[in-house]
Amino acid sequence: MYECINRIFEGNIQAEEPIPPLRFITPRTNLNLVQQLCDLMDSMLPAPDQNPPEELDVLEKLFLFCLVWSMGGALVEQDREIFSKFLADLYGQMLPNCTLYEVMFDVKTSKFEKWEKLVEEYVAPVSKKFSEILVPTVDTVRYSWLLNKVMGLKKPGLFCGESGTAKTVTVQSTFKKLDPDKYQFLNINFSSRTSSMDFQSIFEENIDKRTLRTYGPKIAGKKMIVFIDDMNMPKIDTYGTQQPLALALFLIGRMQLYQRGGDLELREIADTQFVGCISPAASGGNRVDPRVMSLFSVFNITFPSRETTE
């Protein structure tokens, strides 16, 4: 793991021709990547009572798969190939002979499998709006699978991608496959005019008091998933901050929220988790506070591959 962090952040200055560091679609720190690695490992390892794998080679392959989507999950598309080759040079005997972003590790079979294996046959809906139709592809299945793993741990997940990469559609299609008897969903679209008060008002409209200072989803017995789209859109104020994101940092980081006005009661938030989407700063989006980004497992959602579009 040290070699990976060193290669990503430092490159290789000892080579005959210095090799530059790898690039992220949105800034990440080495601690962010280690946390994301641990979360992915937790999401994939079966519980102790479900006979988790004990074979060393199986655990190593599982670790390498999680390494790809943690250390390399937010890399720009061009540098993913470089990172995949770097891992292949380090652990070639254990890895399949292809780009590591093209395969997933199946814990049940203890083998690397192509993502195509998870793509279901498309059945045209009888009556649906055109905007609601999503043809499953390798790309949508891959990112939906990763998001499900993160949400399974009740951890925040975030997609960063250019306009047209279907990040919003992928998130919403993932939600539609969840049990409606167990989950309720709240979609919040940020814009340049969104204020912290707007964000708090929308959020508070969808929670109710449970005990003295504990609040949760209005429907008892359900968990609420809050999807914040265009999370980096709010304008940057005089002090270089985005007020809705400053509130999100407190809310998501501590799962607490102060009442506005009155006696400023501190409320504990229960049974709630968060998912977000942003556009990269390189394409005109605002740069998100790194403290906010550190709360999320971040994945660069790329444009469909050539095989998908043909």
Residues 6+ apart with CB under 8 A from 48: none
Residue with tokens 């005109």: 284
Residue with tokens 């394409």: 283
Question: What's the pLDDT at 85?
Answer: 92
Residues 6+ apart with CB under 8 A from 44: 62, 65, 66, 105, 107, 149
Are the CB atoms for 54 and 87 separated by under 8 Å? no
* DSSP letter for each residue of 84-99: HHHHHHHHGGGS-SS-
Coil, strand or helix at 100: helix
Residue 14 vs residues 18, 109, 182: alpha-carbon distances, Å: 7, 41, 54
Are the CB atoms for 207 and 218 separated by under 8 Å? yes
Question: What's the pLDDT at 284?
Answer: 73
Question: What's the pLDDT at 199?
Answer: 97
Q: 3-state DSSP helix/strand/coil percent for the chain, to nearest 5?
A: 40, 20, 40
What's 129's DSSP letter?
A: -
Are the CB atoms for 186 and 204 separated by under 8 Å? no
Task: In whole angstroms, give the CA distance from residue 272 to residue 149.
Answer: 16
Compute CA 254 distance to the chain's CA centroid, rounded to the nearest angstrom.
19
Per-position pLDDT tens, the chain of length 310: 788 999 999 987 566 778 899 999 999 999 999 999 999 999 998 777 777 777 888 889 999 999 999 999 999 999 999 999 999 988 877 788 888 999 999 988 889 999 998 888 777 776 666 666 677 889 999 999 999 999 999 999 999 999 888 899 999 999 999 999 999 999 999 999 999 999 999 999 999 999 889 999 998 889 999 999 999 999 998 888 899 999 999 999 999 999 988 788 999 999 999 999 999 987 777 889 999 999 999 999 998 766 554 5
All CATH 1.10.472.130 domain ranges of the chain, comma separated, are 1-118
All CATH 3.40.50.300 domain ranges of the chain, comma separated, are 123-302
Are the CB atoms for 288 and 277 separated by under 8 Å? no
Cβ neighbour number for residue 126 with a 10 Å cutoff: 5
Domain 123-302 in CATH 1.10.357.10? The answer is no
The two tokens of residue 3 are 């070699």
Residue with tokens 């975030």: 158
Question: What's the pLDDT at 13?
Answer: 58
* DSSP letter for each residue of 72-86: STTB-HHHHHHHHHH
Question: What's the pLDDT at 268?
Answer: 97
Residue 200 vs residues 63, 228, 270: alpha-carbon distances, Å: 39, 12, 16
Question: What's the pLDDT at 131?
Answer: 61
Best CA proximity match to 277, nearest among 169, 203, 133, 197:
169
For 1-118, CATH number? 1.10.472.130
The whole-model pTM stands at 0.91
Are the CB atoms for 287 and 232 separated by under 8 Å? yes
Question: What's the pLDDT at 14?
Answer: 64
